[in-house]
Amino acid sequence: MTDTYRTVAGRGQARFEVRGSEFIGHVAPATDRESAESFVDSVRAEYADATHNVPAYRVRTDPLREYESDDGEPSGSAGKPALNVLQQRDVENVVAVVTRYYGGTNLGVGGLARAYSRAVKEGVDDAGVVTERPHERLSITTEYDDSGTVRSVIESEGVAFEADYGETVAFDVRVPVAEAEALRERLRSATSGRVDIE
């Protein structure tokens, strides 16, 4: 799972009506199953009065985990069409929930599938799609004597980091997975091994 992948740039939302029923598509980034479930729960709580809150997500665990539910709609009319959009758009680490307020007219399985697909499509469009590289976090601790060296190595890599100057100096670094090992080696070499990396 070290290759690049497509995901949503942020949160997105779409809202429209089909024959009296209101559909609201909510889309958000999710790095794992827990964050996806937590987004689903927050939408369900916010729209607790809705007739349905249909979830679908794809997260990059090993292997890729996909989930969908019809949430009371006829089987195959809601969750699967929602998940299909995420698959067709080839986006991962993304969660979608489509909220439906029933408007009194049955849409049939085909009508529901089109509406749920559209809600996710438009939600993804609103969020925007970006190409992302998998990152990992490195926790780097060093004594003050080596902190300047460590900081300049990290800065030369152009990666995001935070530094905490306490009894020792701790750097929290977010680095692309493909570059993490090279960074570890550079840090060990620059400090003659006097650096703790987790």
The pTM assigned to this predicted structure is 0.74
Tokens of 90: 């080839």
Q: Evaluate if residue 40 carries a pLDDT over 60.
A: yes
pLDDT tens-digit map of 186-196: 999 999 999 99
Contact 183, 136 (CB under 8 A): no
Average the pLDDT over 10-37 and give the result. 96
Q: What span, in angstroms and rounded, lies between the C-alpha atoms of 54 and 80?
A: 10
CA neighbor of 4 nearest in space, from 129, 164, 108? 129
Tokens of 83: 């998940």
Q: Evaluate if residue 62 carries a pLDDT over 90.
A: no
pLDDT at 2: 52
Q: Which amino acid is at 38?
A: S
pLDDT at 135: 80
How does the average pLDDT of the chain come out, rounded? Answer: 94
Which residues partner with 57 through β-bridges? 67, 95
- Beta carbons within 8 Å of 18's beta carbon, 6+ residues apart: 103, 107, 111, 115
Q: What span, in angstroms and rounded, lies between the C-alpha atoms of 64 and 53?
A: 23
Residue 116 banded pLDDT, cuts 50, 70, 90:
very high
Q: Evaluate if residue 26 carries a pLDDT over 70.
A: yes
Q: Evaluate if residue 96 carries a pLDDT over 80.
A: yes
Contact 73, 5 (CB under 8 A): no
pLDDT tens-digit map of 119-176: 999 999 999 999 988 788 899 999 999 999 999 999 998 888 999 999 999 999 988 8
pLDDT at 61: 79
Residue 77 banded pLDDT, cuts 50, 70, 90:
very high
pLDDT at 46: 98
Q: Evaluate if residue 1 carries a pLDDT over 70.
A: no
